[in-house]
Amino acid sequence: MISNINIFLKQREREILSSDNLQKAVFMYLYKKIFNLDIEEFIDSSFQEEEKIACWGYVGLPDEKILEAKHLLQIVLGKKPIKFGVHYSKKPLLLTGIFLLAERIEDLETIKKLRIEASIKIKDFNYFDQFLLSKCMNINPPKVKKVDIIKKDTSCLLALYILTTFFPEIFEQIDELKRTIIERLGHFIATGDFSFREVFSLEFFLHNELINRFKYREYDAESIVKVILKNFQDSVVKITGQRRKKHEAFKINDEYDVQDLLYVMLKSIFPSIETEDYTPKYGGPAKIIDLVLPSEDIVIEVKMIRNNNKEKKFIEELNTDISSYHKHPNTKLLLGFVYDPFHKVTNHNWFYELNGERSHKGVSYKVEIIVNP
């Protein structure tokens, strides 16, 4: 049954991606399928102002469009909400995309304004849109009553994911929800009425509810570290967004903040973890390795990107560091963690090209780069 559903999902994905619109942009952002996209061709003159800047937020903003984006952003933000018609504050897909654009151009005032707007309105949106807002804008999803999850929005399969992940105290209702979802699946598959929201939500259901039940059984150290790195952004949402009782949010200003957070995450699992260890000096200056797990022969190099103009420079620096880490006795696996909170990376593949086996002066080690989010 799962394989049949997956075939159906892939077919719907192809149909969704065949049209150039805002939903496609959201879908590509969520699935990180933005590589090799011709943004100029995708976002043409047929897009309204709100849709245009939102799409730039989701799929990327070319350098030559930065001034135009800033101009359009001010126009859109200056529009007053109207009873009938499109306004970004009433449309969560627009609201989220415009927020992502503000992050790309580092407009801190707009970021703050939109985050406040989203915090107020999030309770009125459906569960998929609540998930999108909370994930992208670092705000807490509203508290949900058991009866609301079952009755209000059963057509959105993400309700089950949110239920089991964020509200474990009502896990006893899972069987009832599963029956409801199976009924809805029958309707969706029979009629083909399956929006991009349902496609994304169902894949989350399959991945988290079915596959992840077996995820941590007999996990090795390498797999655990990778999971932590790949979920870093989701893990820090609670402390970098709205905290309880008006406590000040934790600010991640540079890669040293990222290193400290990763150290805390890994320390409870790997007590021997070390920070800023030096490679031996053999005919050259010593290199500082950000994090070392000596008992597991794993080293971690941390980078944080804030300016897209430095992307290639970052890659060159990372490659230089990687080439020197053979000197460290614990380098069997080198994980390069690239934290990209402002979505400045234009092509993840440029980083992934550094992956693979390396050998230097008789020392062999494996390299893997992880870009998050």
| Position with higher pLDDT, 110 vs 138 | 110
What pLDDT shows up at residue 335? 93
Torsions phi, psi for 175 (to 5 deg):
-65, -40
Domain of 66 in residue numbering reads as: 2-214
Indicate if 201 and 256 belong to the same structural domain: no
Number of H helices, E strands in the chain: 17, 6
| pLDDT score, position 240 | 81
Q: What is the mean pLDDT of residues 299-318?
A: 81
Last residue of a domain, one of 214, 243, 265: 214
Q: Do 249 and 185 have their domain in common?
A: no
Structurally, the chain folds into a number of domains equal to 2
* Selection from 143-157, 309-323, 336-350 with the highest mean pLDDT: 336-350
Provide the pLDDT confidence category of residue 184 given band limits of 50, 70 and 90.
Answer: low
**Last residue of some domain: 214, 236, 263?**
214
Give the pLDDT confidence of 96-118 residue by residue, as tens digits: 999 999 988 888 899 989 988 88
Question: What CATH number is given to the structural domain containing 278?
Answer: 3.40.1350
Contacts of 372 (CB under 8 A, 6+ apart): 229, 230, 231, 232, 233, 337, 338, 339, 340
If asked whether residues 141 and 193 sit together in one domain, one would say yes
Q: How do residues 191-237 score in pLDDT, each as one tens digit?
A: 666 677 767 766 665 555 554 544 555 577 888 899 899 989 888 88
- In this predicted model, what pLDDT tens digit does every residue of 46-98 receive, in sequence order? 788 888 899 888 888 888 889 989 999 999 988 887 766 668 888 888 999 99
Same domain, 47 and 74: yes
Same domain, 185 and 258: no
- For the segment 158-179, the average pLDDT, to the nearest whole number, is 51
Arithmetic mean of pLDDT over the chain: 76
More confident residue, 69 or 148: 69
In this prediction, residue 339 carries a pLDDT of 92
Predicted local confidence at residue 64, as pLDDT: 85
Average pLDDT over residues 149-153: 50
Higher pLDDT, 117 or 311: 117
pLDDT (0 to 100) of residue 258: 93
pLDDT at site 218: 55
* Whether residue 331 is found in the same domain as residue 260: yes
State the pLDDT at residue 282: 39
| 158 and 300 part of one domain | no
Supply the pLDDT for residue 214. Answer: 47
Residue 342: predicted pLDDT: 84
Give the residue with greater pLDDT, 21 vs 286. Answer: 21
- Taking the chain, what is the end-to-end CA distance rounded to the nearest angstrom? 31
> What CA–CA distance (Å, rounded) separates 174 from 127?
16
Residue 333 and residue 352 share a domain: yes
Question: 79 and 183: one domain?
Answer: yes
pLDDT (mean) for 178-198: 63
Same domain, 189 and 237: no
Same domain, 265 and 148: no
Which of 8-12, 139-143, 215-219, 233-237 is predicted most confidently? 233-237
Do 177 and 29 belong together in one domain?
yes
Backbone angles phi, psi at 114, to 5 degrees: -70, -35
Which residue reads 């790949």 in tokens? Answer: 230
Q: Report how far residue 88's alpha carbon sits from residue 94's, in angstroms, rounded to the nearest whole number.
A: 5
Sheet of 274-278: strand order equals 274-278, 288-293, 298-304, 333-339, 363-372, 356-360
Final residue before a domain boundary, out of 186, 214, 242: 214
- Average pLDDT score over residue span 252-266: 91
370 pLDDT band (50/70/90 cuts)? very high
The pLDDT value recorded for residue 275 is 82
